Structure 1
């Protein structure tokens, strides 16, 4: 089956899996830190996240669809940019310095920042074009409309999550003077935290801020909406439901997930920690949860009340 998968993205997924092991070794045996976090934590998270994302793209492009030459070329471009960018993140970690927002005039760092300046928009644009191409056709995965729409909505969510990443860069008024792992002075422009400096108290593993807003949260949630939607659609195929019911559930989930992504972005921009939500945030989340649960309940009830589909006999020739 893997022979039909898109090979460049599959190879990148394998490379990210190897990098995950390498960075895990760094976490275990390299005690250096950046802004209070383990030096190798960032490349570790990048490797895990992009291994999953690349593997998902590889599988997705194995679905029968038109314009495979275009989608394959775009995915190859995405895979190349991902590989280069994560390699740069890992190299900067090995050097004991910051990969993003770093204004150091060191020659190599200037090369890294120059690469990010052009590669990130290029990858974003390639994902947008890929999503547009796949959105105007039906992916014939067992003639499943629910899987088709899971891919469409999942790609849209992933692109929205990527777009949130630009909010980190556009914090132009955020200037932080800090030191790298070797004690050298570094100035950072931009950042992921809102209302507090980067590098404060954070959650285990993710290091998401527990004292202020953190744009990495909606960035992560959006990026992996693609995996959530596809897994949901594939899981629903194992349930005895009408195809139209599975499609409705996928669309309800996509709507609810979009609402959650918007809520998390709004929460972060208000400088509010994920684990300390305000009354307003909780109220909006509660309304969203009730709306989704109500829609799901109504859909399943309607499915049970509907007559079972009748299979037409195949005429003999």
Structure 2
């Protein structure tokens, strides 16, 4: 699935160059390209982490098929909407657009719950890797699931922002206050950051450069969790002020 989405990323990027169609002021193929890149990264990461999860092979296979199939549905729908020249998210202009939005929402919930199930199932058994790496994997999946469900806030209010104003994130232009994309981004990339922290802590322990690798991973995860919580609080601030 990672390879498929890398290929789609190339096709969608070509579409940005070759197709002048715009949606909401942006090239129609920009969103599919971004999602293809994101899905490729998530699937590649799950492929890396999945081999270390001490779970039954049949459960791993079934869950992987659900996750891969869900992501395939998601990118096909996003690309299909771009081909039609309409938005894929928060679009209820027609019955078809609304139905596609519902399918996408349900699909991503199923995918997220399936990824969470991998961690829950693996938590019951011993990992075949260093405990610090195992901790990074579990905490990374946990915060990834939190970040994924923060996208539910955007679905609930049918918008990426609420009374957004002031400071924005450089380059991408996401609003820090009143915007939800920053928190969503931080949460999703916990899937890469925390397992990597665990991996390098384990290597550091083997080379005697880190004395307490588990403590180091928990410390990194705590800081990352605070970053995630802080960005989400700033996002919802206009709703509670």
TM-score, scaled relative to structure 1: 0.68
Task: Work out which of the residue numbers 154, 171, 174 in structure 2 matches 1:208.
Answer: 174
Match of residue 249 from structure 1:
216
Match of residue 70 from structure 1:
59
* Residue 241 of structure 1: how far off its partner (Å): 3.3
Q: Distance in 1 between matches of 2:110 and 2:99?
A: 17
Match of residue 3 from structure 2:
14
* Residue 66 of structure 1: how far off its partner (Å): 3.1
Higher helix share: 2
Q: SS of 2:52's equivalent?
A: coil
Higher strand share: 1
* Residue 132 of structure 1: how far off its partner (Å): 1.1
Question: Residues 91 and 161 from structure 1, CA distance in 2 versus in 1: closer, same or farther, beyond 3 angstroms?
Answer: same
Which runs of 4 or more aligned residues in structure 1 lie more than 6 Å from their structure 2 counterparts after TM superposition?
none
> For the pair shown, which has the larger CA radius of gyration, 1 or 2?
1
Query: Between Structure 1 and Structure 2, how many residues are aligned?
Result: 235
Q: Distance in 2 between matches of 1:254 and 1:40?
A: 35
Could you tell me whether the CA contact under 8 Å between 2:140 and 2:194 is conserved in 1? yes
1:234 aligns with 2:199: yes
Question: Residues 244 and 148 from structure 1, CA distance in 2 versus in 1: closer, same or farther, beyond 3 angstroms?
Answer: farther
Q: Deviations over 1:196-233 (max 9, x none)?
A: 49xxx9853x35247x5221111111111011112222
Task: Work out which of the residue numbers 139, 148, 160 in structure 1 matches 2:127.
Answer: 139
Match of residue 261 from structure 1:
228
1:192 aligns with 2:181: no
RMSD of Structure 2 on Structure 1 (CA): 2.3
Unpaired stretches in structure 1, ≥5 consecutive residues: 1-11, 172-189, 273-317
Match of residue 46 from structure 1:
35
Match of residue 313 from structure 1:
none
Question: Residues 26 and 230 from structure 1, CA distance in 2 versus in 1: closer, same or farther, beyond 3 angstroms?
Answer: same
Match of residue 184 from structure 2:
219
Match of residue 139 from structure 2:
153
Unpaired stretches in structure 2, ≥5 consecutive residues: none
